[in-house]
Amino acid sequence: MFKYYGKTAPYLFLLPAAIVLIIFFFIPFFQTIVLSFQDYSSSIYHPGFAGLQNYLEILKNPIFYKVMINTIIYLVVAVPILAIIPLFLAILINQKIKGITLYKILIYLPVIVSIVVAAIAFKWLYAEQGILNYILNVLHLNSIGWLTDPKYAIYSVIIVTIWKGIGYYMMIYLAALMSVPKELYEACDIDGAGFFTKHLTVTVPHIMPTIALVTTISSISAMKIFAEIYVMTKGGPLNSTKTIVYYIYEKAFENLDLGYASAMAVILLIVVMIFSFINIFCFERGKYQL
Partner 1 sequence: MSKFVNFLKSLKFKNLWVHAILIFVSVLSIFPFIWLLSTSLKGSSENIFAYPPTIIPKEFTWANYVGVWHRVDLMKYFINSMIVAGGTVLLNLILSSLAGYPLARMEFKGKKITFFAILATIMIPFQAIMLPVYLITLKLHLVDSVNDTLGYIGLIMPFAVSAFGIFLMRQAFLAIPREMEEAAIVDGCNVFQVFWKVLLPMVKPSLAVLAIFTFIGSWGEFLWPSIVLTKESMYTLPVGVNNLQGMFSSNWRYIAAGSIISTIPIIIFFLAMQKYFISGENEGAVKG
Q: Within 13 Å and on the Cβ side, how many CA atoms surround 112?
A: 7
Write out the binding residues for partner 1, residues 129-158 only, by CB under 8 A: 129-131, 134, 137-138
Assess 280 for contact with partner 1 (CB under 8 A).
yes
Write out the binding residues for partner 1, residues 3-42 only, by CB under 8 A: 3-7, 9-11, 13-14, 16-18, 20-21, 23-29, 31-32, 35
Residue of the chain from 44, 76, 209, 287 that contacts partner 1 (CB under 8 A): 287
Which region among 59-67, 101-109, 148-156, 183-191 touches partner 1 (by CB under 8 A)? 101-109
Angle at 148 between CA 143 and CA 149, to 5 degrees: 70
Residue of the chain from 49, 97, 194, 254 that contacts partner 1 (CB under 8 A): 97
CB of 231 to partner 1, least distance (A): 6
Which region among 52-60, 182-190, 198-206, 247-255 touches partner 1 (by CB under 8 A)? 247-255
Assess 116 for contact with partner 1 (CB under 8 A).
yes
Which is nearest to 263 in space by CA: 65, 8, 55?
55
Which is nearest to 219 in space by CA: 283, 290, 126?
283
Q: How far is CA 101 from CA 28, 104, 237, 264, in A?
A: 43, 5, 41, 44
By rule CB under 8 A, what string of x and - marks binding of each residue 177-216 to partner 1?
-x--------------------------------------
Q: Quick check: helix, strand or coil at residue 38?
A: strand
The answer to whether 212 touches 267, Cβ cutoff 8 Å, is no
